[in-house]
Amino acid sequence: MDLQKRSSLGILVKKKAERLILPSVVFSLVYWQLFNGDITDLVGGGKIVISVLSGVGHLWYLPVLFWCFVSLWIVEKLKISDKVKLFILLVLALLPYPYIPFQLSRLPYYFLFFFAGFKVWQYGGLFRTNISSKKVLASWLLFVVSFVVLRMLKSHVVELYSTAPLVTKAGLKIVSTICQIGYSSLGVIAIYSMAVLFTNTHNLPKCYINAGSLCFGVYVFQEFIIKYLYYYTELPVKVGYLALPWIAFIITLVLSLLLSKTTKSL
């Protein structure tokens, strides 16, 4: 489902596999060869195949996004209200899961946000037209307070987790996830509110829109560049640990944009 476009499940799977799974596999092979060892080594070959198909390094997000699109298509076919769907997805997101390959164990948590974002896109017109600077400020204050309080609570839960019995660990894991969903949701609302206010009050230059269209490529390339700068160059020694994050950020952003633009035009 491409937002308002209604495709069959087969067409959707084919389209998203080409756009998400294929780049994930290709760049995961490159990532493994560069940073994890020789991809041609047959020892542990099964592990390599599963890792590559699941997305290596930061590329884990691409299979998750693929499953989110597929899951959204299925959930939208269910003849129940969106409120019930959201409640069910919240419960599923809170449950602890064992490791499942191909990023399926991560899907329930991230699909909750994906589904909520889709519904905001569908029905959030009134919110977008009535946004104000006071509401944006209030959303940020609420996020900051909740982040501090819930992060402290989560840290305490993590301390208890290591010595807790198995059943208690499951409960602590759920509490930790509740905290994370809480401050993450408020953070998304704060950022989204600020972005909506900005776009409502400013005409975005074309260069902003063009740069936004390169975000997918930037995400794919950025960790390759950062890892290379940090571990395969003398940059950390030459610039020092204080300046390193800022200089690495600028270099990574510029190179990621250039690589994205180059590959997009091919």
pLDDT digits (tens, 9 = 90+) for 62-115: 999 999 999 999 999 998 999 999 999 999 999 888 888 899 999 999 999 999
User: If 0-12 CB within 10 Å is exposed, 13-18 middle and 19+ buried, where does residue 130 land?
Assistant: exposed
pLDDT > 90: percent of the chain: 53
182-202 mean pLDDT: 91
Q: Where are the alpha helices (DSSP H) in the chain?
A: 9-16, 22-31, 45-54, 61-76, 82-94, 107-123, 125-129, 133-161, 166-201, 206-212, 215-231, 235-264
Cβ neighbour number for residue 254 with a 10 Å cutoff: 11
Decide if pLDDT at 150 tops 60: yes
Decide if pLDDT at 46 tops 90: no
- Is the separation of the CB atoms in 136 and 100 below 8 Å? no
pLDDT > 70: percent of the chain: 93
**What integer pLDDT is reported at residue 253 of this predicted model?**
92
Straight-line distance from the first to the last Cα atom of the chain, in angstroms, rounded to the nearest whole number: 26
CA 8/CA 218 separation, integer angstroms:
30
CA 161/CA 176 separation, integer angstroms:
10
**What integer pLDDT is reported at residue 41 of this predicted model?**
56
207-230 mean pLDDT: 87
Decide if pLDDT at 61 tops 90: yes
135-147 mean pLDDT: 95
**What integer pLDDT is reported at residue 42 of this predicted model?**
45
Decide if pLDDT at 2 tops 80: no
**What integer pLDDT is reported at residue 168 of this predicted model?**
85
